[in-house]
Chains A and B, each alone.
Chain A
Amino acid sequence: MNHLIIAPVLLPLLAGILLLLLRPFAIELRRLLSLLAVLGQVILAVTLLPVVHSGEILTYTLGNWAPPFGIVLVADRLAVWMLLTTALLASFALLYALRGSDIRGRHFHVLFQLQLFGLNGAFLTGDLFNLFVFFEVLLLASYGLLVHGGGRLRTRSGLHFVVINLAGSTLFLFAAGTFYGVLGTLNMADMAQKIALLPTEHLGPVKTAGLLLFAVFALKGALLPLHLWLPSAYANTSAPVAALFAIMTKVGAYSILRLETLLFGSGAGALAGMINHWLLPLALLTLLVGMLGALAASALRQQIAYLVVASVGSLLIAFALGSSDGIAAGLYYLPHATFAGGAFFLLADSIAQRRGGLDDRFEPAGQLADGRLLGGLFFLVAVLVGGLPPLSGFVGKWLTLQASITHPWMPWIMTVILLGSLLSIIALARAGSVLFYRAELVRPSPNRTGALSLEVVPVVALLLLCSALVLRGAAVDDYTRATATQLLQPAEYIEAVLGHDRNARTELSLNANGVSQP
């Protein structure tokens, strides 16, 4: 058994606990430890990447309890791809936080590491109830991070975020309970196997539970009509937290993808493709509504939050296509959207700090200090987010459009994606001209904080990662296509988790759950 798989889960957990114990020590020590832990996660993800790229699906049985009885961690191509994206984003968000926003409240680094613990666990687990537990871990940490630093607006949007997520957790438990009541298992591979052989009279409850679960993941991923919590939560929190939260909506998207391909994939008999019917129209609407929100926004951070909603829409359109090309396009788009969203939130904070009392509202202010550099970066990020060539946003959109050509909904998908791009360019052009061109020359720069060159390092690094997605496009495309192929053959996943003698084990589990099996 390869112990490397559990390391991405253990490292942030141990680092978090250690940081809690080190509270009396100097902040520099804790910052260093936190940074080292995040770098360690990048290294772990990079180590795992070539192993899973060969097509091998690694499993780790906790406590050596054989699946489907024990909890199992599964590292396949998709899981490691998510781990890598998370770790890279987290390291630059943390780098930005080290400039001072981490000491505006208590326990920033502890919560940051525990958030990563929850995220990594959610990507690796192969058990539905364990997924619920990791969701709760990451949510509890995110509640703390969201209100970190305090303030009226932050507390209010924090309350909304917590209440809606608690309601979501309740729905998750209802869905998990229904699945267990009908299928007698919570191991996702075993569930997939049982759904495939489901007798007709049990189709109803399983379909209900599946759609409930879809609703929960749609809530986490901010899919229309469950996106309303996102703009105020993201717009009011601190910049590094907002940047880290760019991955939070992707957890929802990841879970939807698992649900779509593993539980209700091609092998699911009568329920195959159940999720896709709902996903595509909702994702198209999400993209449109997000772009309209970005157009109507009155402040930069609010606009970015709506652009995050729209990027979830684009991502899920690609996943909803259901074809290997579509999923591969989505997996290419996913790191791009995450890095671009993170970079934009960090840049917005740098801009807002230089505009005096106006903060990030779209009203003409005095000329910005370092306006040229910030403006140049804003232009690059806008090109990235708007999906213009030559950066990765364009490649992601192009791949999605190409994959949609054979889809029956092709006219709708093309129209919405292209219209969305146009709306985003208009919105970003408006924002840029108010922030940089309509500045009054007479007024001096209000307040200049810190050395800019250090401050923009994380933004530049995230932009470089996005350009690496283009420059190394062939390698990335290879990997995402291989991932999509692997996802569309859930038999491999089931085989890896349950092993070769899975029929014998299924018999055993039937007997063990004798009371719950009709």
Chain B
Amino acid sequence: MEALIALVIGVLTACGVYLTLRARTFPVVLGLTFLSYAVNLFLFTMGRLTIGQPPVIQAGAEHYADPLPQALVLTAIVISFAMTAFVIMLSLRTRADLGNDHVDGKEVP
């Protein structure tokens, strides 16, 4: 399971980095979204992968899932959600102000 998760995070990050380096705002926004998905999964796995374990104290439980990364991921999701909304609005505004969707505002033939 660790290898699979690591692979997923790696692929997501690679896609995110590639798209962020593109010249148009839409792929850039998409790339940033991919990056934030990758980092959310990464944070989640930092509490180690466990299945079917309680996160808070329970009588008779032998092992626990780490609850902290879950709280961290929740915070990170909310923040990245707000940021994505903001960057979409800003790129629409750039599109309107500059007349095209190139990140530098230059029309490429």
Contacts and interface: CB of A to CB of B under 8 A. Distances in A.
Interface in B12-69: 16, 20, 25, 28, 32, 35-36, 38-39, 42-43, 45-48, 50, 53, 63-66, 68-69
Contact of A152 (B46, B69, B82, B105): B105
B72 interface: yes
A258 B49 CA distance: 32
A155 interface: yes
A422 interface: no
Given A133-B79, A180-B69, A159 B25 contact: yes
Contacts of B25: 159
A167 B35 contact: yes
Contacts of B63: 514-515
Given A170-B39, A174-B42, A516 B47 contact: yes
B92 to A, nearest CB: 10
A158 B32 CA distance: 16
Contacts of B79: 133, 136, 169
A174 B39 contact: yes
Contacts of A140: 82-83, 86
Interface residues of A, number: 32
B16 to A, nearest CB: 8
Interface of A is mostly: helix
Given A156-B98, A156-B104, A516-B48, A166 B32 contact: yes
A378 interface: no
A398 interface: no
A74 to B, nearest CB: 20
Contact of A156 (B16, B32, B38, B94): B94
A159 B83 contact: no
A196 interface: no
Contacts of B35: 166-167, 170
A147 B46 contact: no
A111 to B, nearest CB: 12
Contacts of A167: 20, 32, 35
A181 interface: yes
Given A133-B75, A136-B79, A152-B97, A162 B64 contact: no
Interface of A: 129, 133, 136, 140, 143, 147, 150-152, 155-156, 158-160, 162-163, 166-167, 169-170, 173-174, 176-178, 180-181, 186, 513-516
Given A136-B83, A174-B39, A177-B72, 19 more contacts: A129-B72, A133-B75, A133-B79, A147-B90, A152-B105, A156-B97, A158-B90, A162-B86, A163-B20, A163-B87, A163-B103, A169-B80, A170-B38, A173-B43, A176-B43, A176-B72, A177-B46, A180-B69, A515-B48
Sort A-B residue pairs by CB-CB distance and give the 10 closest, nearest first.
A181-B46, A173-B39, A177-B43, A177-B46, A170-B35, A155-B97, A156-B105, A136-B79, A166-B32, A180-B46
